[in-house]
């Protein structure tokens, strides 16, 4: 991770097809594009790879979440349950529709705790949205059972975990809807882009129309399209889709490299005193984009994170202090700071997150370090990194023991 590390001839060839035709838009201009429909081809490739009936390409992972929610008729005042550890796009997509993000604690999977999810369900809850952070999944079996019991939708935010699987199904395909991000630092990239997948005919039709100003896409004359409902512009360009079309063909290649590098790093630290590897649910296979582990306490985690940077181990993240990924610094959400007036249903429904007890999430994230797994490392670089990581952890734990 990320896929841009290994850009090559395949990506250039796909992009050149688009440039030579001169048609950069995914719709229309049939005669000029020389038979090249990169977005359509990529949607078919995503559907095949994910085992889903439908895929809809959009302009970003954030767009994918927004369109997925809209396609399922989520709107003002509806509650969507998400974890306290995620990316800000998760709640941005919910708020964009006037719905209410309900945040719940994480557990040792670094994803939402099903016990906390069940406690958060109300008569206004419409969606449970697990976020498969740092390459691994939530406890999907338990969450699916809650959805079935309470007649809720399961929407998987798999933007950070493409290529992982649960119970033999690709992440994103286990729920009613699944979303991916193809931004510049994801396992496979379009530069900017995203996609949603589903097996539901209605959601797929809604997503197709909503992501393109409500166009019904019937016939070949775009100007003659009708508009069954309001929509917005979440389209991807043919140039971005062309990059993604090359990259998805390489997904298994990238996953194999990530797993190899991840395994070397993990084996160097997993048996060290004080180290606990992040829990992957039974029947789950992560995509190996991050190695995440817990130290015994916050002081140890801070010390190890600081020392890793000093010792030349880059790409290490201490999420507990991160502005984008943890509730602790989301004052713009807590105070609903907006450029325009927000729906009253959202203002009335949003809990007072300044008062939320996040001690359970703090317990796990305050002890967590995540190490990015790169594709471009040589074998020697991986071995050197593994040794520096192990030596650093041992030095910090020894200092704290004295």
Q: How many CA atoms lie within 13 A of 11 on its CB side?
A: 17
Alpha-carbon Rg for the chain, nearest whole angstrom, is 22
Whether 186 sits among the annotated catalytic residues: the reply is yes
Which of 38, 116, 126, 186 is an active site residue? Answer: 186
Residue 338, burial from CB neighbour count under 10 angstroms (0-12, 13-18, 19+): exposed
Compute CA distances 306 → 266, 297, 300, 336, 372, whole Å.
Answer: 19, 14, 10, 33, 15
Is the CB of residue 85 less than 8 Å from the CB of residue 319?
A: yes
Task: Kindly give the pairing relationship between strand 316-317 and strand 125-128.
Answer: unpaired
User: Across the strands, what pairs with 233?
Assistant: 212
Compute CA distances 34 → 10, 29, 123, 212, whole Å.
Answer: 19, 10, 52, 23
Is the CB of residue 114 less than 8 Å from the CB of residue 281?
A: no
The set of catalytic residues is 186
């Amino acid at each position: 991770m990320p896929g841009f590390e290994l850009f090559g001839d395949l990506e250039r060839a796909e992009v050149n097809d688009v440039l030579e035709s001169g048609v950069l838009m995914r719709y229309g201009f049939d005669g000029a594009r020389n038979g090249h429909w990169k977005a359509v081809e990529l949607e078919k490739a995503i559907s095949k790879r994910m085992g889903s009936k439908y895929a809809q390409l959009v302009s970003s992972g954030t767009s994918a979440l927004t369109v997925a929610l809209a396609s399922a008729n989520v709107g003002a005042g509806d509650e969507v349950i998400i974890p306290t550890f995620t990316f800000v796009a998760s709640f941005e997509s919910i708020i964009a529709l006037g719905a209410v993000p309900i945040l719940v604690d994480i557990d040792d999977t670094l994803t939402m705790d099903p016990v906390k999810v069940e406690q958060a369900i109300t008569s206004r809850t419409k969606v449970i949205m697990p976020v498969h952070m740092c390459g691994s999944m939530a406890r999907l079996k338990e969450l699916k059972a809650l959805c079935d019991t309470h007649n809720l939708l399961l929407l998987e935010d798999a933007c950070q975990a493409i290529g992982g699987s649960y119970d033999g199904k690709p992440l994103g395909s286990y729920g009613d809807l699944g979303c991916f991000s193809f931004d510049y630092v994801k396992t496979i990239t379009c530069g900017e882009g995203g996609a949603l997948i589903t097996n539901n005919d209605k959601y797929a039709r809604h997503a197709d129309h909503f992501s393109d100003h409500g166009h019904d896409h019937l016939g070949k004359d775009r100007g003659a399209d009708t508009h069954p409902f309001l929509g917005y512009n979440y389209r991807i360009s043919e140039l971005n889709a062309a990059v993604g079309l090359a990259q998805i063909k390489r997904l298994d290649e990238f996953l194999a490299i990530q797993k190899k590098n991840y395994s070397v790093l993990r084996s160097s630290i997993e048996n060290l005193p004080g180290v606990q590897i992040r829990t992957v649910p039974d029947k789950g296979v992560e995509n190996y984009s991050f190695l995440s582990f817990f130290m015994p306490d916050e002081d140890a985690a801070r010390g190890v994170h600081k020392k890793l940077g000093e010792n030349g181990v880059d790409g290490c993240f201490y999420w507990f202090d991160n502005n984008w990924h943890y509730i602790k610094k989301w004052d713009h959400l807590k105070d609903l700071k907006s450029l325009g007036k927000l729906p009253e249903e959202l203002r009335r429904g949003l809990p007072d997150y300044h008062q939320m007890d996040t001690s359970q999430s703090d317990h796990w994230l305050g002890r967590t370090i995540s190490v990015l797994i790169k594709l471009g490392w040589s074998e020697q670089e991986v071995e050197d990194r593994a040794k520096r990581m192990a030596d650093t952890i041992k030095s910090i734990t020894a200092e704290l023991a004295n």
